[in-house]
Structure 1
Amino acid sequence: MAILTNILILGAGYAGLRAAKVLAQQKLDAAITLIDRNRYHYETTSLPEVAAGTRRAQSVILPLPENLPAQVNFIQATVTKIDRASKQVDLADGQQLTYNYLVVALGLESETYGIPGADEFALPIVDVKSALAVKKHLEGRFQNYQASQDPDDLRVIVCGAWFSSFEFMGALVNRLPKLAEHYHVPLDKIEIQCIEAKDMILPMFDDELTDYVKHWLSDHNVTLRTGTPIKEVQANKVITEEQTYTANTLIWTTGVSGSHVIGDSDFESRRNRVMVSDELSLEDDPQVFLLGDVAAVRQPGKPYPFPATGQIAFQMADAAAANIAADLKGAPRQDFVFNDLGTVLALGSKDGVAKIFGDHKLRGYKAAFMKRVIDDRSLLKQVGVKALVKYGRIPL
C-alpha cells in the first residue's frame, strides 16, 4: 500500500482554512490535517465591531470541524514549535506530528514595540477573546461611572492609528448613544482619543479619503493626535514626551506581528514574518509554505513586502494549495501574483471610505455596505451559501 503524503496546516484563519478547502478539492493522495487552538474560525476583520459591541461574537465565528471538507482531519491543539530538520511539529499537549508538506498560517499577535507597560495595562484586539474582553471592560467602566463620577471612566484612549483602530472607533461612536442611555451617563462627557506616533495615517488611501476619515472623526468628537510617540503605559495613563493622558479604558492597536511560534522555531524572520519565495515556500525548504500574517511577500518594484490583509491571505492560500497539488501531480509550480481588489475601511455601519477596482473611490454608506459585502463574500468562499444562511448572514 502506498504511503499517503502528509500535509499539515497550522492555523484556521483566512489562509489556513482556505488552503484546507482548496487542497481537499484537488482529490490528492494525501492526508490533510488542520490544527488550531480554537474549535472555530473567526473573521479577524470583524473583531473591532465585536470589541465595540456592535456585533455579536457568534456572528463572526464559524464552528469547526463541522464546516470543513470531509477529507480534512481537524485537531484542536496549540502549536509550540516547528522543527524543520525533523519535519515535525510540537504541540502543547506533548504530541509530535510529522509532515511531508507544511503550511504555516498561524496568524497575528499584538505588537508592543517594547513600550513599557503596554502588555500589562492596555487591551489588544487580536482574537475573539481579546475583543470580548475590551467590550466587557468598556461596559464595566460606563456602569461604574454612576457610583464613581470619575471622568476617566468615560474616557477611551486608542493607542495607534492602524486600520483596526479606526474601525473600532467608528463602531464605538455608533454605539455610544445606546451605551449612554443604558448606563445613564452623559453622552457629552464621553471622550475618545487616538494617539499615533507617525504623522501620516492610512497610507493605503490618498489625501482625499484620508481627510474624509479625519473630518469624520472630528465631526464625531474623536480627537486624533498624530506625531505623538508613546513612551510608556501605566495604569490608566498613556505617557508621551509632551503630556500624560488619562483614561480608564486603554486600547492597544499600534500594530501586529506574526505568531511567536515563528520566533520560537528555526525561521529567519522579522517581527515573526518570514520572507518567502515567489512560490510562497522557503527558498531552502520548498515543502514548507508560509501564508498570511507570518509571511512576507515581495512587492514588485518596492523595498517592502505587501501588507498582510485578508484578501492577500486568501489569494496566498489558493496559490500555495495549487503549488502543493502541482508537486504531487508532477506539474510545475506557479509564482504567486497578487490581484489587489482594493481596500475598504468601515466607520461604523453607515459610513466609511474605500478604494476599489484601481482608483475608484467610495465614501459614506456605499463604503460601509461594501465592507459587509466583502465580509460575506469571504465566508461564502470558505464554506458556501448554506453556511451564510445558517449563521444568519443571508436571511431566508
Structure 2
Amino acid sequence: MQDDDGLSGRRTPRRRSVRRRFATLYAGLFLASGTAMLAVVAFFAGGSIQAVPGPGSGAAVPGVSAAAAARIASLEHQLTQAQSRQTQQLLLGSAVGLVVMGLLSLLLGWYAAGRVLRPVRAMTAATRRISADNLHERLAVDGPHDELRDLGETIDELLGRLERSFAAQRRFVADASHELRTPLATMRAAVDVTLGKPGPLPEQTRVLAGRVRTELDQVDGLLDGLLTLARAQHELPSPEAVPLGELAADALAARELSAARALDAAPVAPVRGNRTLLRRLVENLVDNAVVHNEPDGWVRVTVRETSGVPASVEHVEHVELVVENSGPTLTHEQVEELTRPFRRAGPDRTGGSGAGLGLAIVAAVTEAHHGRLDLHAREDGGLRVVVTLPAAVGTEVQA
C-alpha cells in the first residue's frame, strides 16, 4: 500500500538543526574548558594540603613543655582539617557552578546561534518565495559585509543569471511559434493547392501529397505540444475558477465516449488556474487513456474532492482528477519514464501519431498549478493517473 506521497518503504530523513548543533557545540566547549580549569584548581589546592600529625604525636621540642607541644600539634591538626573542608567546599561549589553555567551556556548558545543564523533563515524564506514567475526579486541582504552577506550577493547574482536565461527562453518560444508555423502553413497550402488542381493527378503524386500532409499535421501537433509544454513551464496566464468536471465531460464527448458511462463526477469545487492549459491537461489524459488501450477496453474518469467530505461543505482544499484505463501491464520503470518528453512505454507506445509529449505536458501543467501528478500501473493492466490540484480559494461548493 502506498502512502500519500506515492512512495512505499521510503522514510524522510530527520532534519538536523544547525542552530541546535551550534548551541550544543558552544555548551560542550564551555563545559570542557570549565572542567579543565576545575581540574587545575583541584590539583594545586590538593598539593597545599599536607597531613599533620594528630594531638600527642608530635616530637618533643627543646625548651617547650610536653603540654605546650601537644597543644600546638592539636591546633595544627584542626587548621589542616579546616583547610581541607574549605578546599572540598570550594571544589564542590565550583562543580555545582560549572553545571549551572553549563546549562546557562546551552541557553545562551541557543540564543546566540539564533541571532547568527537569522540572516540565513531570512535568505532561505526569500529563496523559497522566488520562482520562475518572480525571478526579478532579490534577497538584498543588508548588515555588515561578512560571509553571510557575500552568500546573499552570490545568490542574487545567480537569480539574475536565471532571470536572463528564462527571459531568453520565453523569447525563443515566442519566436519559434511565429517562425515555424509560417512555413508549415505555407507547405500545407501548397499541398492543398496541388491536390485541388483540376484534372487527374498521377496516383503516385496523390499518395505522396497525402503522406506529406499527414507528416505536416504531425509536425504541427508536435510544435503545438512543445509550445504548450514551454508555456506551462514558465507562466500561468489568466487564472480563473475552472470546473474540472465540465472539462472532463467535454473531452469524453470529443472522443465520442459516453460521459454518463465513463465519467464519475459529483459536484465539487472548481480549481483555480488557466482554462486553456487545464483543458489541454484533461484532453491529453483522456487521449492517452483511449489511444494506449486494448481492443474493447474501458476508460474511467473520476473528479472528486480529496478530503472525501460531502459536497454541501463550503470549503475544500484540493480536487482530484483520476483517469484509468485498461491495457497492457506496465512495470514501475516504464511508468517512471512516461512523463519524460518523447518517451513511451511498451511496444504499443512506440508508434502512432503521438509525439510522446502528452503526459509530459500534463506534468508541466500540473506543476504550473502547484499540483501533484501520480502515475500507477494497475495490477490487471492499464494505467491509473491521479492529478491533485488546489481548489479555488474561497469557492463555495454547490450541492
Task: Pick the TM interval, shorter chain.
Answer: under 0.3
TM-score for both structures, normalised by structure 2: 0.19
TM-score (norm 1): 0.19
Relative to its length, the structure with more strand (as a share) is: 1
Higher relative contact order by CA 8 Å / sep ≥ 6: 1 or 2? 1
Structure exhibiting the larger radius of gyration computed from Cα positions: 2
